[in-house]
Amino acid sequence: MKLKTILLLSLFILSPAHAAMNHSRMMMDDKMMIMNANPDKLPQDCPKISENVDITIRAGHKHALKFTGKMFAFDQQEWNVKPCAKINITFINDDQIRHQIMVHGLPGYLYPDGMVHLELYGEGQLQASFIVPSQKKTYLVHCELPQHAEKGMKAQLKVDGGDGDLPSIPGISAAVNADSYTVDWSPATWAALVLCVLLGFAIPLVIISNTASSKVVITKVWLYLQTRRKPK
């Protein structure tokens, strides 16, 4: 009897109708997750929605290539909206791995833990909306997966021009802890450096020398052929 009950419960849970969870503050399946989306509830300091802003945010390794030493990034690092704006995000993951967008610092009475969260497991597209308060503020936007933010996946959302730039936003503000790549100057390292310098001088000289020798040989052959040519 117990085995039969367990099997029936397993079939119920794993059936397509229950493959996705949709709680009051979270939607999730095996591909995506949305937390605290808010398309219609106004913040206490907003009499109405001031504007609808459509923002497409792409995430992935290729967007970090423009930043030295970064591995992941969003395609943009800053957005500006009016107070009480409704923001409609289209989140696109361009990688095969998991990426997130999290907006922090929103009012807790409307957004539990003060955040909105979109997440995709691999390539795909996801949409969600939220409404910002009227306060002049700069909100952190980042991926909270381990080391993704540290490796470049950070941005900022400014409401009414914001209240300054956040630290360590690629291309916008200086890093709190700048990357430092030290070299262990062992005898082997010095030998490799000297060898590279010598090769850097030697290779161009060999190419030039070979080119000059080839020109001399070609010239001599041409002159020989000219002297052997019989007059008509």
| Residue 75 in tokens | 């395609």
Residues 136-147: pLDDT tens digits? 999 999 999 989
Residues 69-83: pLDDT tens digits? 899 999 999 999 999
Count H helices, E strands: the chain? 2, 12
Residues 29-52: pLDDT tens digits? 989 999 999 999 999 999 999 999
Please choose, from the candidates 137, 152, 195, 177, the residue with its C-alpha nearest in 3D space to the C-alpha of residue 60: 152
Can you give the pLDDT at residue 23? 59
Report the C-alpha gap between 212 and 81 in whole angstroms. Answer: 65
DSSP string, 92-126: EE-SSSEEEEEEE---TTTSGGGEEEEEEESSEEE
| Residue 113 in tokens | 């833990």
Report the C-alpha gap between 154 and 140 in whole angstroms. Answer: 8
In terms of pLDDT, which residue wins out, 195 or 18? 195
- What amino acid occupies position 191? A
